Structure 1
Amino acid sequence: MEHGSPILNSTDNSQQAEASSELTALTVAAFAMASLVETRDSDTVNHILRIQHYIRSLAQRLQGQPSFAAVLTDHYIQLLYQLAPLYDMGTMGIPDRILLKLTSLTPMEHAIMKTHTTLARDVIAQAERTLGRQSELLTTLKELVFSHHEKWDGSGYPQGLAGTQIPVSARLLAIADVYDALISDRVYKAGIPHDKAVGIIFQGRGSHFDPDMVDVFMEMQDEFQAIAQRFADTELDMQRKIEYMANAIAEVAEL
């Protein structure tokens, strides 16, 4: 029986350690940037953590299905986990008067709000041009930021993609994002109970969401609830957010 060269094994181990270190650094950097994004809207930092864990748990459950197995490798799921915090990075380009508005947006304001997807896509596209080559990391991030508001029936934005035209990454994020938005308290609204949120997700099966993903979500809904409880917002989190938004709104009103 032949054994691998000690030198080659050492090199492989070194490369694996370096790759692991890079992923760890990416996680820290992504979380830091996402935390900055979250300061400008009604979400809390815990929202980022919940989204990360929802996506990873749902993706891991889908790994065993033939239609997802080729895409949802362990490496890809870890990449999604690392990048998920940045999915709303485009909101950094939305004016405070719209992003912080507590009442309904006008049609014009809503149209501007929708541009957060294309703003983020354009930033990443510029990064790709600067890099001068294809990057799995940037490609995946571009999918997340650009396509998480697409809907299975084609009624979403910005491209009106339908079905499997929507990247798997964005389909996963759509369920995670909507579920968390439903159950979470915001400055302007109270969250709804888990059971009601699950019912709304199920109603969106085949219209808003990938039906196969919804079926798996229904089977593992208790895991989503456990994640929500583990990373629940505290009263202090909400108070800080209320104070920040009150000050920000006051500043906007003075302009």
Structure 2
Amino acid sequence: MQDAVVFALASLAETRDPETGNHLLRTQHYVKVLAQRLATTDKYRDVLSPTVIDTYFKAAPLHDIGKVGIPDNILLKPGKLTPDEFTTMRNHALLGKLALEKAEKLSGACTALINVAKEIAMGHHEKWDGSGYPLGLKGDDIPLSARLMALADVYDALICRRVYKEPMSHEEAKAIILQGRGSHFDPMVIDAFLIEEQNFIDIAQKFADEESAMVPIQLGQQASG
């Protein structure tokens, strides 16, 4: 029942942005495979238990719940945002955490799921080098759940069509993500992505939006045209 409620809440944000399609499903599965890979490393073997990974998986769909508080004229704008509009858009990270804190208070329950959901909502736009938002957290100060979500979210945005851009191929998206190693993304998360890239491709295809929304992708394939 709890899982259904979480996904229903997450879908509220998704319905505000019709172009995201199966974004919630894809990103939660990306997060899971990244976490499972990191669980095999010495650094995270004792951190990422199956229970913790399952909590990450269940919390991931709530990453953009704060978008329900962003005005339509900004959230649905087909062109580039102005600096002021981008500042407003960035507020969705804090709004998401505040919404989850309110839900936590009303329910009277402090659960691992809500705690991780707050981490992800607040932290998935932070960057490894400290240049992200809203707090400018750096390195391991960024919760691991949010570091995983950061890569999952960016990858999915790159390979999917948006009103302002065409979808990229897997290889094009991969190249951009690799450029962010040590700046945007945790290097260990990048390493996990490289090992799991076939799983990323499989997830993208399994939970694809309408047929025209994504470039057919195969490992090592470049986009044509």
Instruction: Give the alignment's TM-score, normalised by structure 1.
Output: 0.79
Instruction: Report the AA paired with residue 93 of structure 2.
Output: T
Q: Partner of 2:22 in structure 1?
A: 46
Identical pairs, percent:
50
Is the 1:44–1:237 Cα contact (8 Å) retained in structure 2?
no
Q: Partner of 2:115 in structure 1?
A: 139
**SS, match of residue 150 in structure 1:** coil
Instruction: Give the alignment's TM-score, normalised by structure 2.
Output: 0.89
Q: Are 1:106 and 2:57 matched, yes or no?
A: no
Determine which of 67, 70, 81 is the counterpart of 2:46.
Answer: 70
Is the 2:93–2:121 Cα contact (8 Å) retained in structure 1?
yes
Q: Are 1:32 and 2:8 matched, yes or no?
A: yes
> Which moved further from structure 2: 202-211 or 36-45?
36-45
Taking the aligned partners of 1:50 and 1:133, their CA distance within structure 2 comes to 28
Taking the aligned partners of 2:19 and 2:153, their CA distance within structure 1 comes to 11
Q: Are 1:182 and 2:167 matched, yes or no?
A: no
Is the 1:42–1:186 Cα contact (8 Å) retained in structure 2?
no
> Which moved further from structure 2: 39-48 or 221-230?
39-48
Residue 181 (structure 1) shift: 0.4
Residue 42 (structure 1) shift: 4.5
Q: Partner of 1:14 in structure 2?
A: none
Residue 26 (structure 1) shift: 2.3
Residue 32 (structure 1) shift: 2.1
Question: Which one has the largest radius of gyration?
Answer: 1
Is the 2:130–2:136 Cα contact (8 Å) retained in structure 1?
yes
Query: Would the alpha carbon gap of residues 226 and 133 (structure 1) be closer, same or farther in structure 2, given more than 3 Å must change?
Result: closer
**SS, match of residue 66 in structure 1:** coil
Taking the aligned partners of 1:48 and 1:135, their CA distance within structure 2 comes to 21
**SS, match of residue 216 in structure 1:** helix
CA offsets, 1:180-216, max 9 Å, x none? 0000112332110100111111111100000011012
Gaps of 5+ in 2: 215-225
Residue 72 (structure 1) shift: 1.1
Q: Partner of 2:91 in structure 1?
A: 115
Q: Partner of 1:167 in structure 2?
A: 143
Q: Partner of 1:227 in structure 2?
A: 203
Taking the aligned partners of 2:110 and 2:28, their CA distance within structure 1 comes to 24
Gaps of 5+ in 1: 1-24, 239-255
> Which moved further from structure 2: 135-144 or 42-51?
42-51
Calculate the aligned-residue CA RMSD, in Å.
1.8
Query: Would the alpha carbon gap of residues 131 and 28 (structure 1) be closer, same or farther in structure 2, given more than 3 Å must change?
Result: closer
Q: Partner of 1:216 in structure 2?
A: 192
Residue 133 (structure 1) shift: 6.0
Q: Partner of 2:221 in structure 1?
A: none
Taking the aligned partners of 2:129 and 2:207, their CA distance within structure 1 comes to 32
Q: Partner of 1:81 in structure 2?
A: 57
Q: Are 1:92 and 2:68 matched, yes or no?
A: yes
Residue 160 (structure 1) shift: 0.2
Is the 1:148–1:174 Cα contact (8 Å) retained in structure 2?
yes
> Which moved further from structure 2: 124-133 or 37-46?
124-133
Residue 43 (structure 1) shift: 3.3
> Which moved further from structure 2: 120-129 or 170-179?
120-129
The count of aligned residue pairs is: 214
Taking the aligned partners of 1:94 and 1:144, their CA distance within structure 2 comes to 18
Q: Partner of 1:59 in structure 2?
A: 35
Instruction: Report the AA paired with residue 31 of structure 2.
Output: I
Residue 121 (structure 1) shift: 1.2
Is the 2:126–2:136 Cα contact (8 Å) retained in structure 1?
yes
Would you tell me which structure has more helix in proportion to its own residues?
Answer: 1
Q: Partner of 2:219 in structure 1?
A: none
Residue 237 (structure 1) shift: 8.2
Q: Partner of 1:5 in structure 2?
A: none
